[in-house]
Amino acid sequence: MPLALDIGPSELLIILVIVVVLFGGSRLAGLGKGAGRALREFKEETQSPDEIPADDQQKAASPNLGAESAAEPPAPAPAPENKVAS
């Protein structure tokens, strides 16, 4: 038996109200902001080199791009002490 999802506008409105009541407006706004940021970053990463703005191309072509990564790596963490409880 096929599952038919005949959801009309009134059902969608009820679901939306329930979601807002459960999660609150501020949390939903934060989720929307995060989703928008993720989509924007995805679009930026998937652009071909022809579509990248000129100022971004200059940043990518600058020779000191890896200057931060060329710094010394952080010192390793000390080994944990093995103490036996008596």
Confidence band for 37, pLDDT divided at 50, 70 and 90: very high
Whether this model's pTM surpasses 0.85: no
Q: Where are the domains of the chain?
A: 8-45
What's the Cα-to-Cα distance from 83 to each of 54, 69, 80, 86, rounded to whole Å?
Answer: 59, 37, 9, 9
pLDDT tens digits, residue range 39-84? 999 998 888 766 666 665 566 555 555 555 555 667 777 776 766 6
Find the helix packing angle between 9-23 and 25-46, rounded to 10°: 100
Find the distance separating the first CA and the last CA of the chain, reported in whole Å: 67
With CA atoms as reference, report the closest residue to 11 among 23, 19, 21: 19
User: Rounded distance, CA 71 to CA 74, Å?
Assistant: 9
